[in-house]
Amino acid sequence: MDDPERYRLTLTSDGAVVMQGWWPDRATGERKFRSWIGSYGGIAEARVVLTERGFDGAEEVLKEWPEA
């Protein structure tokens, strides 16, 4: 069974969470990652991070913008 919240996308500005989204598949998460950069990348101190939640509940960063 797919986890509907396996891939999480988080947009922050100056360290504060502005919005988040969750998807069951990586392709959607990556598409939204690119879309959010285009839509919200102009926000002051914007940061977009895509993570994957493992079966143990731990999250791994897959992509981040801007790159660290």
Residues in the chain: 68
51 and 59 Cβ atoms separated by less than 8 Å: yes
Domain segments of the chain as ranges: 7-54
Alpha helices in the chain (DSSP H): 26-40
In tens digits, what is the pLDDT along the chain, a chain of 68 residues?
Answer: 578 899 999 999 999 999 999 999 999 999 999 999 999 999 999 999 999 999 898 999 999 999 87
Angle (CA) 30 35 36, round 5°: 100
The pTM of this model reads 0.92
